């Protein structure tokens, strides 16, 4: 049941459970890195198929679209809201902007830059490393939710607080060990470097959100996902 709940929350795949208990939500966190691996694996397989017909650059555009589609744009929405809220002068203004369903100039610009950064990184990468980079980024991006939620207070009541308050120490330890081992198995040294970089990004994001709005919201998780994903691709280029 925990796996089904994780799939329901992290993807737009037609998996639905009518009644979800707090215990099942908490147990679903163990599967977050695994869901990331499956999404990354699907993206890698799709890329391999596409490159039989199209050039690498065009295939990567489709892959980036697939990664948005499979999550229903959930993380992109969070990134745009956080970017728009940068225009707020006070904590209250930032909360008000993040709750606004409309996208502003900052949000649109940051989303464009985010896509461009991913495209530039993947098209600049040795094609033999792209699949490993995709899987590693998707694993670490979803693992990042757990330490971010565990170590950072929630700024207000909402999706972010409901997520964060159920993260246990045992969950964090298990998922961290699993994620670290999995990315090293997939990407060797690059995976170890990317794992360390992801940890640094989470620490920076946690510190920033504490000072910015006093903690985290659901949108902060989405924004952090993209920071980790881009940083992972960058570490594969270094």
Instruction: Indicate the range of 23-27, 82-86, 196-200, 210-214 predicted with least confidence.
Output: 23-27
Mean of per-residue pLDDT scores for the chain: 91
Global pTM reads: 0.94
User: What pLDDT score was predicted for residue 158?
Assistant: 62
With the CA atoms of 178, 184, 190 and 193 taken in that order, what torsion angle do they form, in degrees rounded to the nearest 10?
50
* 3-class secondary structure, 216: strand
User: What pLDDT score was predicted for residue 98?
Assistant: 86
CA-CA distances (angstroms) from residue 116 to 1, 81, 113, 178? Answer: 37, 19, 5, 30
Counting residues of the chain whose pLDDT is more than 90, the rounded percentage is 69
User: What pLDDT score was predicted for residue 19?
Assistant: 66
How would you label 115-136 residue by residue, b for 16+ Cβ within 10 Å and e otherwise? Answer: bebbbebbeebeeebbbbbbbb
Q: Could you tell me which residues come within 8 angstroms of residue 213 by beta carbon, excluding any fewer than 6 positions away?
A: 85, 91, 94, 95, 155
Kindly report, residue by residue over 48-106, the tens digit of the pLDDT. 999 999 999 999 999 999 999 999 998 999 999 999 998 788 888 888 888 888 888 89
Q: Could you tell me which residues come within 8 angstroms of residue 236 by beta carbon, excluding any fewer than 6 positions away?
A: 121, 125, 129, 132, 133, 136, 187, 190, 194
- The span from the CA of 74 to the CA of 206, in Å, is 20
Residue 160 has pLDDT above 60, yes or no: no
- The span from the CA of 1 to the CA of 35, in Å, is 14
What pairs with residue 154 in β-bridges? Answer: 216
User: What pLDDT score was predicted for residue 92?
Assistant: 85
User: What pLDDT score was predicted for residue 26?
Assistant: 75
Residue ranges of domains in the chain = 37-237
Residue 17 has pLDDT above 80, yes or no: no
Kindly report, residue by residue over 109-155, the tens digit of the pLDDT. 999 999 999 999 999 999 999 999 999 999 999 999 999 999 998 87
């Amino acid at each position: 049941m925990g796996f089904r709940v994780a799939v329901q929350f992290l993807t737009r795949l037609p998996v639905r459970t009518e009644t979800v208990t707090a215990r099942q939500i908490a147990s679903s966190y163990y599967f977050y890195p695994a869901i990331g691996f499956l999404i990354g694996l699907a993206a890698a397989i799709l890329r391999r198929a596409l490159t039989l017909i199209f050039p690498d650059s065009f295939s990567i555009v489709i892959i980036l679209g697939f990664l948005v589609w499979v999550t229903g744009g959930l993380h992109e929405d969070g990134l745009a809201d956080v970017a728009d809220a940068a225009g707020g002068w006070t904590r209250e203004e930032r909360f008000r902007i993040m709750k606004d369903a409309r996208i502003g100039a900052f949000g649109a610009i940051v989303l464009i830059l985010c896509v461009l950064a991913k495209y530039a990184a993947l098209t600049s990468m040795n094609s033999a490393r792209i699949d490993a980079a995709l899987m590693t980024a998707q694993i670490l991006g979803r693992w990042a939710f757990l330490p971010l939620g565990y170590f950072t207070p929630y700024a207000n009541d909402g999706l972010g607080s409901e997520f964060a308050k159920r993260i246990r120490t045992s969950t964090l330890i298990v998922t961290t060990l699993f994620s670290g081992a999995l990315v090293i198995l997939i990407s060797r040294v690059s995976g170890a470097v990317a794992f360390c970089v992801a940890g640094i990004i989470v620490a920076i994001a946690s510190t920033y959100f504490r000072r910015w709005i006093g903690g985290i919201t659901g949108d902060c998780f989405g924004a952090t996902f993209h920071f980790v994903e881009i940083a992972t691709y960058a570490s594969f280029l270094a």
